[in-house]
A and B are shown apart, each in its own frame.
Chain A
Amino acid sequence: MIPEVGTGALLVALTLAVYGAVVSAIGARRGRPAMVESAQHAALGVFALLTAALGLLIYAFLTFDFSVRYVANNTNLGTPFYYRITAVWGALEGSIVLWAWMLGLYTLLVVLRHRTSARELYPWVLTVMLGVLAFFLLVMTIPAPVFARIAPIPADGRGLNPLLEDSGMITHPVALYLGFTGFTVPFAFAVAALVAGRVSDFWITTTRRWTIVAWYFLSLGLLIGGWWSYHVLGWGGYWAWDPVENAAFMPWLTATALLHSVMVQERRRMLRLWNLALVILTFSLTLFGTFLTRSGVIASVHAFTQGTIGVFFLAFLALVVLLALGLIAWRWDSLGAQGELDSVISRESAFLLNNMLLVAATFTVFFGTVFPLLSEAVRGEKVSVGAPFFNQVNVPLFLSLIFLMGVGPLIAWRRASPDNLKRNFLWPVIIGVASAALFRLLGVGSVLVAVSLALTIFVAATISVDLVRATRARRAMGERALPALGGLLLRHNRRYGGFVVHLAVLVVAVGVTGSQTWSVHTETTLQRGEQTELAGYKIRFDGLRESQESNHGKVTGTFTVVNGSAAGTVLHPAKKFYPQEQSPIAYVDYRLGFIDDLYLVLGDFARDGTSVTVKIQVNRMVSWIWLGGVVLTLGTLLSVLPDRRKAA
């Protein structure tokens, strides 16, 4: 009964979404507010029905309703309560439900926030949002029916993939999908601006916060994904340039470009066409990512089941791109820039370069990801390019971007005078060059590492120079140092929010550089009581024990650090035996630190329990990457606070 109600709810929601999209468009064309209001009710109805469907699906998981194929495939009687909820979006069909629900939520928020503030664009925004919702509801009806029954009803389900039994599985998809779906809002505004012929700068200022919020969640989703990969998969890495990671990274790159280029449009009335293109590109890339990961065209560790769903996404993607290009062509004449680029040494020029580099990085990631398809089509042989390709091509681009991160926020608009340059960059350049020289003298890593670290120091110095100067100016007016700094951050929250986000990127960059440079690992077989050494850590193997957990058996090793400041640390890497799996899954144990992570993976063990093969890694500065996520959160919060300058 419950599954039929769920299917019914989705069908009604689909009908309502189509109705709302059409009615809102007609209302806009004929100037009938009543029709737009009716579409608004439809949007609320769609969200309510999606919430009901999600609730019913969760209920089906909690009550082990194995008559539902999706439930039977992704849970079993042993799945713990907590993971029965995360299992809801653990596979294809449920992930689409979560996705659509979030899109419904964004639609609701748009209704609440913009129904009176953006009169001319609002009906069209509603049409686009409901149109996209209708597409996802269609996917849930035809290629991925989540409430489909299974016959005969199995006595027990297959169980959740053990790798997904992790707390990261609640936050990672939620953050990632909030990011992906969030870009629908700026996209809807962009399309609305084109349709309504209001391509001035209003839509861009209106969607700034939406873009920041979506960008933040996408960033967070990527970071949590890295954390999951790091602490669950047992290879000691956080990023593998896997197609699925790339699929999420590409819209992140274009959205980052957008966050910067909108400032140029706000300030100089330039880049109108470019910004529209970036919004459309970002939204298209979120669809492309879904297509890539759900269609099985490219082999990936994340690959979901293959099916007809890929065709749906490809068709929708084609429709979106064609429609958007058509609209741009239609409004071509009104998209010309009003401002002009005056000088190469200017802020707009730095932002332009930043955009070119980010788009170049997007292109290289795209190219590398689809390379196997290209080479098969062109030369008939299947060739892939792995992580070395992505690193080799992207490292120079990212280092240039970090450099620009120091230049962009401080250089003058229009044309920077020699005095402006000297005032802002003299000290940071001296500090940067000196630290590069110091790193080389101390023999810190390679030239590339020294350059990379020196660049982050240069950028940190530019931020400090700006903060110190601005604080000093306020102190000169009689304020004390800390209140002056606090007042500054809150009063110019947009600017300093950006600075804090830049700081977060620097912290992540140091973490990536450090972990890629100084991490060490070894693999060895130890007898009980025997010890081994890695990077100054002496580690002793103390024995194995076995236990039975709710849905799996477990063999746990005990390892003790016997020397140094970490002496006495006991780590318990294990192997878990799930009945539904033929062979065990490694369970990593680690001790995180500000500089060193000690990271142990049980490789193999003698059946009599007297010896084990263990992978030991000392990973350096990885924690900085997670710390960067915290700083990023603070910076984003600061930058989306209401603008205090207007109020004052």
Chain B
Amino acid sequence: VKPKFLVGGLVIAAALGYMIWAGVTQSAIYFVTPSELSAAPVSGKAYRVGGLVVPGTLKWEPRTLDLAFTLSDGKATVPVRHKGTAPDLFGEGRGAVVEGQWTREGYFKATLILAKHSEEYQAPHPTKDAAPAPKRLLETLEKEKGSR
């Protein structure tokens, strides 16, 4: 191989190495548990936190699009706020993963919420709790329509 091709190859390799290094340092997201985060939160650092949405903590304000809930891993809790609706399959008592930053004000500002679920299907929970939700809703809508 002629030296100039070798030099060219090295230049490309070096440029690639630099781009990868810069890319990693700028877009690293740290996976932590609520306990790890609350033990040593660094504001401004990008985190991904997974936990259970604590029942009774979910607040949704449709007018202002403010969503708030608490994530827990059983040992520690993290207050989370988000602008916008939650994704499908998100709910109290279920797993969720949030991505965002810890703020100085003492809450986690989520830019992304992922509902944790597996592609392979969960067993249908005994129809007692699953089906009524839409049914009740449909009834309400039905009633509402009648009153008009």
Contact = CB atoms under 8 A, between A and B. Distances in A.
Interface of A: 73-74, 91-92, 158-161, 234, 301-305, 341, 344, 356-357, 360, 363-364, 367-368, 371-372, 381-386, 388-390, 392-393, 396, 523-525, 544-546, 548, 553, 555, 577, 579-586, 603-604, 606-611, 613, 615
B138 A546 contact: yes
A553 B65 CA distance: 26
A555 to B, nearest CB: 7
A607 B137 contact: yes
Interface residues of B, number: 56
Interface stretch (B12-20, B71-79, B101-109): B12-20
A390 B142 CA distance: 48
B42 interface: no
A582 B137 contact: no
A577 B133 contact: yes
Interface string B110-146: 0000100011111111010111011101101110110
A367 B24 CA distance: 10
Contacts of B130: 579-582
Contact of B29 (A301, A344, A384, A611): A384
A161 B121 contact: yes
Given A303-B119, A360-B12, A555 B137 contact: yes
Nearest to B115: A583
Contact of A158 (B62, B88, B121): B121
Contacts of A548: 138
10 contacts: A158-B123, A159-B121, A305-B119, A360-B16, A372-B31, A383-B30, A393-B23, A553-B138, A579-B124, A604-B86
A585 B88 contact: yes
B55 interface: no
A524 B83 CA distance: 11
A389 B27 contact: yes
A385 B88 contact: no
A585 B1 CA distance: 58
Of B19, B88, B133, B145, the most chain A CB neighbours within 10 A belong to B88
A392 B84 contact: no
A135 B63 CA distance: 57
Contacts of A611: 62
Contacts of B124: 158-159, 579-580
B27 A392 contact: yes
Interface string B54-86: 000000101101000000000000000000111
A385 B91 contact: no
Contacts of B90: 583
Contacts of B94: 582
Given A301-B119, A386-B29, 20 more contacts: A158-B124, A161-B121, A302-B119, A303-B118, A305-B120, A341-B1, A344-B4, A367-B20, A390-B23, A392-B19, A393-B16, A393-B20, A544-B141, A555-B141, A577-B134, A580-B124, A583-B133, A603-B84, A606-B62, A613-B62
A356 B114 CA distance: 36
A581 B138 contact: no
Top 8 closest A-B pairs, CB basis?
A603-B85, A577-B134, A382-B31, A388-B27, A580-B124, A389-B27, A525-B62, A389-B23
A368 B145 CA distance: 52
B88 A583 contact: yes
User: Chain A at the B interface: mostly helix, strand, loop or mixed?
Assistant: mixed
Contacts of A604: 60, 62, 85-86
Given A341-B5, A364-B16, A392 B119 contact: no
A360 B11 CA distance: 13
B22 interface: yes
Contacts of A577: 133-134, 137
Most buried by A among B85, B99, B127, B129: B85
Contacts of A74: 121
B44 interface: no
Contacts of B29: 383-386
Contacts of B1: 341
A371 B24 contact: yes
Given A583-B90, A603-B84, A609 B141 contact: yes
Nearest to A384: B29
B25 to A, nearest CB: 10
A393 B19 contact: yes
A229 to B, nearest CB: 14
B16 A344 contact: no
A385 B135 CA distance: 42
Given A389-B23, A393-B20, A384 B31 contact: yes
Contact of B127 (A341, A344, A579, A585): A579
B9 A356 contact: yes
Contact of A356 (B12, B135, B141): B12
Contacts of A159: 121, 124
B12 to A, nearest CB: 6
A392 B135 CA distance: 47
Contacts of B63: 525
Contacts of A160: 121
Given A161-B119, A384-B29, A579-B124, A392 B16 contact: no
B18 to A, nearest CB: 10
A153 B139 CA distance: 34
B135 to A, nearest CB: 7
Contacts of B24: 371, 385, 389
Given A372-B31, A582-B130, A611-B62, A304 B119 contact: yes
A525 B2 CA distance: 66
B39 interface: no
B58 to A, nearest CB: 12
Given A384-B48, A604-B62, A608-B144, A553 B19 contact: no
A341 B63 CA distance: 67
A438 B123 CA distance: 59
Contacts of A610: 144
Contact of B23 (A234, A392, A546): A392
A630 B17 CA distance: 36
A356 B10 CA distance: 11
Given A73-B120, A372-B31, A383-B28, A555 B85 contact: no
A603 B62 CA distance: 10
Contact of A615 (B85, B91, B119, B135): B85
Contacts of B133: 577, 582-583
A360 B5 CA distance: 16
A436 to B, nearest CB: 22
